[in-house]
Amino acid sequence: MILSVTCRLACFTIACVSGVLPAKAVAAQPAITFKKQIVDGKFYAESIAAADVNQDGQPDLVVGSLWWAGPVFTKKTELRAPHAYDKESYSDAFISDAGDVDGDGLPDAIQIGWPGRPAHWLKNPGKAGGDWPRFLIHPYVGTESPHFVKLLAGQPDVLIFSAYKKIGYATRQPGKPEAPWSFHAISPEGAWQRYTHGIGAGDINGDGRADLLTYNGWWEQPASLAGDPLWKFHAADFGKGGAQMYVYDVNADGRADVITSIEAHKYGVSWFEQLAPAAGATEPTWREHAILSREPAEKLGDVQFSQPHATVLADIDGDGLLDVVTGKRHWAHGSKGDPEPNAPAVLYWFKLNRDPVTKAVTYTPRLVDDDSGVGTQFVVTDLNGDGLPDIAVGNKRGVFAFIQQRTP
């Protein structure tokens, strides 16, 4: 599918910090672990997509110039001339996705290169095989976490990003799949440069229309998009720029909250609780609850790591609540850049818990792996058809599949 400090310690209850739940609750929940598969140890991209490329009913993995046939991921096929990159450098696929762009029933590959450079889609040749013809989506895609989201009612997913110092989205030209997509600016010109971090979409104000989020606030989608109007901006402090941003009612109070990493190359992941406007005001206020601390030396739930440069919301344990999946981006700026570049490249999921009586929210960290991490984007989906969500990662440590295992 083409595909979103004021309260740190206080947001963790004793149960969350210690990782201990009541005995009855523990007994009722199966143990969740992940079986790790090293698909390839080379660096092809810091992103990955999952789609049924060969139409055999099994998801495959698309990473950079190659795809691996599922569910065993041992056979690889070229999309184009393969190229493995120096792990001290960068790839030309910062963001990956897959979907049927041209309407022929086959999933195509979508690749977004270095920030500020072009995005392309590659046409699936089907059973004929061979190279995948490449077509331009847009010549300039800024921000470090552009992604495909459901933004416009009744329309295909769009690509949200910045271009020419403006925030906006790109849409396909109807009936012209090979033509470049059209960019629609929603903001005036501002300080949006190609390395800006943090962007997402979701309905913040409950009017039924998805809004667009950035690290410094949210842009309200108007009732009519005729003439490409600018969207109303609502200032808010969602950190200094993280990764993919999400809108989700974390505490089930009927108001949409925001989940985001705080600073992609440093520390922190939080959810921001939307509160009613203060007396006499019209704008909502926001209360931050840390999942991972902004402070390097502070551990929450006995966990801390730097560079949460990619995040995904997914119901890992099947309880109906969306959990947070994230990890450490390995060598974002090489072996000597950023905080703790050579610390373990961890991958975690943080289980969302809501107390049925007090309604208090906690996130409990669960380690998936300590030698893989994330890149700039990854996927959570069922890779083997057992109905359980798995995790697939492509980054500078290689290509990995983590298959969920449950034991009573």
Which among 85, 84, 141 is positioned nearest to 111, based on CA atoms?
141
**pLDDT per residue as tens digits for the range 387-397:** 999 999 999 99
Q: What is the mean pLDDT of residues 370-396?
A: 98
**pLDDT per residue as tens digits for the range 46-61:** 999 999 999 999 999 9
Residue with tokens 């490329």: 53
Q: Is the pLDDT of residue 164 over 50?
A: yes
End-to-end CA distance of the chain: 32
pLDDT of 278 reads 87
**Percent of the chain whose pLDDT exceeds 90:** 87
If one compares 13 and 233, the residue with the highest pLDDT of the two is 233
> Which of 136-145, 251-260, 302-311, 351-360 bottoms out in mean pLDDT, i.e. has the lowest?
351-360
pLDDT band at 2 (very low <50, low <70, confident <90, very high): very low
Residue with tokens 């997913």: 157
d(CA 70, CA 49): 12
Burial per residue of 272-295, b for 16 or more beta-carbon CB atoms within 10 angstroms, e otherwise: bbbeeeeeeeeebebebbbbbbbe
pLDDT of 408 reads 86
Q: What is the mean pLDDT of residues 183-203?
A: 96
Q: Is the pLDDT of residue 23 over 50?
A: no
Q: What is the mean pLDDT of residues 320-340?
A: 96
- Token readout for 122 is 């590659």
Q: What is the mean pLDDT of residues 325-338?
A: 95
pLDDT of 28 reads 62
**Percent of the chain whose pLDDT exceeds 70:** 93
pTM reported for the whole predicted model: 0.91
d(CA 97, CA 109): 6
**pLDDT per residue as tens digits for the range 112-148:** 999 999 999 999 999 888 889 999 999 999 999 999 9
pLDDT of 308 reads 98
Q: Is the pLDDT of residue 8 over 50?
A: no
**pLDDT per residue as tens digits for the range 232-254:** 999 999 999 999 999 999 999 99
